[in-house]
Amino acid sequence: MTTVGELARAGALVLKSGTTAAGGSVPVLTEQDVLAGTGPTGPAGGAAEGDEPVLTELGDVVVPLIGGGTVARVVDESTAGAALGRNLSLLRPDPEALDPWFLAGYLRGSANQRQASSYASTATRLDVRRLRLPRLPLADQRRYGERYRTLASFEESLRHAARLGEQLVRGLYDGLADGTVEPH
């Protein structure tokens, strides 16, 4: 096993923190976006004085630092180029050393949350450097990574079905209330 901190020290990945504040022209990827699996919804932002915004790239892995569970999301076309919002960490794996889907998938394990979390009075704060993953050859990482990618796609399909179900239920409530749906 190894940790994200060890991988960063070895050069297998670059670790960056979000520093974005309002005021620029680049959309911001927020922690809520990462949790919901959406594109950047934060208002266009720039860096705080003296800071350059951290811009996401395809294959980056983004991890929220605060919350009740470990979430790790691979940056795709819908999130590439967004500024990294506050309370997010970006892991940029070297593609010759780490498969991004393997990295993201393994980091989502609940054992990692327990290993790398510290608890404040009301929130859990994640220490990304303490997240652990196994040392595997790149070919094996890619096999796992493909399974994790498939699982992430299934998860997105479930989110989409839930949104459609909520719209259907809301429409039925409205239809019953305004008389366009009969209570047979």
CATH of domain 2-178: 3.90.220.20
Identify the weakest region by mean pLDDT among 27-41, 115-129, 154-168.
115-129
Q: How far apart are CA 51 and CA 45, in angstroms?
A: 12
Query: Is the pLDDT reported for residue 117 higher than 60?
Result: no
pLDDT of 141 higher than 70: yes
Average pLDDT over residues 33-47: 79
pTM score: 0.84
- pLDDT recorded at residue 20: 61
Q: Look at residue 173 in the predicted model and tell me its pLDDT.
A: 96
pLDDT band for position 110 (cuts 50, 70, 90): confident
Q: Which of 48, 3, 56 is nearest to 28 (CA)?
A: 56
CA distances from 37 to 44, 72, 96, 98, 182 (A): 19, 10, 27, 22, 36
